Structure 1
């Protein structure tokens, strides 16, 4: 076989086959490892960082993970009746290789699949209702949208093929110093273009019809990011990938991945809120000076502080999300970077749906739609309405029809009023509301993202969210930052910001 003809996915498999291989060339001699590393935040980004830092720096380094709330961050569940239900990040794409690796290493099974049906609601009526028959759905979509749906699938597949390159780079130990460099390594200038224009502009340029964007694409953006087709093209493509088939979740809740990674990394969880980080210079035994980072925090026992060689920030440094201050840094590090996080309200209702609210005359006993997406119209006060299954599917479980009391999850931009709930439900016995600042408000053109490197040995995982926010994006950023911290500590500049992996691989074959 001519090595020039190897496909991206073939190269990826080749890379994964060389599991554990640190580099394509012999590594230079490493200096002494750091003694203490701090990770601020125990969501998927922070716990994945702890996992990868342990891989990179070995068993001797002490890793402390600071978290004032529950491990899992924006991955969370709530108990209603006898079962727990997902309130945060709910689905994982089949090509999310880091998340797949996590559950395999941790021995956590995926949740059993329950067949689902989708409909689209314009605020007054159901404009589309999925049939149990594939051919019926295909013909309906073909009649209304032509080949737009098939072309969208192919367009997203093309982007995913480029996206997959990051796994090859990370498998071979390559890291990137900025979000833009990481995106360029994945998709070249085309990915940088995607983050600098709206999804609507991108898809219109690709030949998709406006009616297809309004009826199909916009509802997907609303359920995944609570925003419109005017978000950036890259996060829009990530969102459309999240509407693909084969999506899965973790048995007993996605937050289990975070607690599992924390345990597997042998890190120490410190239940405290970090208030400030500063630089401290201390004399060393050799007569020179060494700098450390002082992490100040408040826990149940009051205020305390500790010194660390490396610090990883895994919580958003934005208004409404963090109050960490930074002192003694030159140039100064801001407490809040520009940009706001978008509010999505997640309301879980254990009740009986009023199907007439959806404009259907179908009896509730025959209404088996589980996921209702909404168009971007004045009549839509909600972003989505979904019938929830428990995070653990018991044996013999069948999703109840709409004529029975069950748990529904509503995403909306604002808290729902009593009157609005009365319109949607005939009755209910419990309501649980969670207000998430879950993801950035994506408004291109793409402004300068926060850096991965805040200072010499101070790193920021959540910078990646300004390209796209998803569980796998956080895991990719965690892996990148762990590699970056390792290479910079050991002065391995040849593994940072290099985009020659494919050339070097072909040279070895």
Structure 2
């Protein structure tokens, strides 16, 4: 009899679960056949990774944009699939705007910017980088063989084994302060970048979010040419999964434990299919999926951890704009030179009651006519922001409104959700790799959650799941950056 697995969601978590499950199955000397079905409410694969054609020669990521070369699943998969990377331009400039003035600007000359940064921020950049690297070293234990490699039944267990629990209990501001990182560097650099990354200030998000942001600031980043979603499409393809895409047939509305063993999965069009295991790889906080599981299941006993108010997602607009920034917005003369990218930072002292009109405007390309392609992040409606931030004639080439990532407040470890929501007597289960998003919201961490889910299922069916990354002998360690 085949093992039948339903996966809800075709983003990073869902497709990586399918991919690693197929890899594990192929390694077994003797096992049942494996049938995987991926349900996805949208008519595309990729989840919150979405690239759009903004002009004939330009593709721009409106969703998850970058990953680090030390993010082993994302980076090594892109290499294995022979996907080229986007070539990034050198020497771009950055301005930190506090609503009244540019608090700091870079020149695009690396050596000079380093000197100016050291003069302004002292040793804070080094202290912040050290703290980020220490946390990253702990995260990358997930790739190892042995106990630290899992699989893990709960997020709290995973955090404890990797020695990351302390980071989620304290705010980014408090933790960085305890590491000797100065207030100015926190507010201008880390918090400004944290707004771009998670739309949250350092006082309202836990320290792990801040350390992830720091890693992206200084790390070696990549974007797949043609869009990062190509990796997830390849995961799905190589898994051999049946794809059920689109509203109606792809929207799962019910997961119910069968009387003997296994689970019913019902979709919006009324079709009902049975599976041995179900992997819910979408956020339960805003997906209307009914889970009818036994009263003794971890889901029932710990349901409050899956749907707390704190897991509401940030509503964010990501907009591709072709035009020119307006010097008048920054109270500058019409012929003034502006930075290539602008990040809106908190003024000193902060005014939390006044949300920034935008988080960042980043130049990605300049056209022969002098206009440029910008990616704009804002919580305010993009039309309002574009009308004031850009010169007349600016064009919105594409826009996407996201439930981008959850709020990430300091959290008691007992309040993080379980990964195993239910188990039956035949080794089947309902798993929730999305639990990882309570503390991380990155493509790599979603893939780590997917790999963990695949290994949990394999373990419950008696498969051999020992081994490091990807599912064999460990390769040499990578440098510790997220």
Q: Cα offset for 1:94?
A: 1.8
Contact 1:179/1:467 (<8 A) preserved: no
**Aligned mate of 2:19, from 41, 46, 51:** 51
**Aligned mate of 2:343, from 367, 373, 388:** 373
- 1:246 matched to 2:246: no
Q: Cα offset for 1:432?
A: 3.2
- Partner residue, 1:35: 3
In 2, Cα distance between the equivalents of 1:485 and 1:171? 17
- Cα root mean square deviation, aligned: 2.6
- Partner residue, 1:26: none
In 1, Cα distance between the equivalents of 2:142 and 2:149? 11
Q: Cα offset for 1:388?
A: 2.8
- Partner residue, 1:393: none
- 1:85 matched to 2:60: yes
Contact 2:125/2:181 (<8 A) preserved: no
Deviations 1:379-410 (A, max 9, x none): 73111111135xxxxxxxxx449x82232221
SS in 1 for 2:21: helix
**Aligned mate of 2:407, from 425, 441, 449:** 441
In 1, Cα distance between the equivalents of 2:466 and 2:37? 29
- 1:278 matched to 2:244: no
- 1:455 matched to 2:422: yes
Deviations 1:405-430 (A, max 9, x none): 23222111221353x42221112233
In 1, Cα distance between the equivalents of 2:148 and 2:157? 17
- 1:198 matched to 2:171: yes
Alignment of 1:63-462 (within 5 A): 63-69=36-42, 70-82=44-56, 83-115=58-90, 116-169=92-145, 174-186=150-162, 188=163, 191-230=164-203, 231-271=205-245, 272-281=250-259, 290-298=260-268, 302-318=269-285, 321-331=286-296, 333=300, 334=303, 337-338=307-308, 339-361=311-333, 363=335, 367=338, 369-377=339-347, 378=351, 380-389=356-365, 399-400=366-367, 404-418=370-384, 420-426=385-391, 427-446=393-412, 448-456=415-423, 457-462=429-434
Q: Cα offset for 1:38?
A: 0.7
SS in 1 for 2:411: coil
The number of aligned residues is: 436
Distance 1:417 1:172, change over 3 A: closer
Contact 1:354/1:424 (<8 A) preserved: yes
SS in 2 for 1:47: helix
Contact 1:387/1:407 (<8 A) preserved: yes
SS in 1 for 2:143: helix
TM-score by length of 1: 0.80
* Unpaired segments ≥5 residues, structure 1: 1-32, 282-289, 390-398, 496-500, 503-509
Q: Cα offset for 1:294?
A: 0.5
In 1, Cα distance between the equivalents of 2:437 and 2:266? 26
- Partner residue, 2:480: none
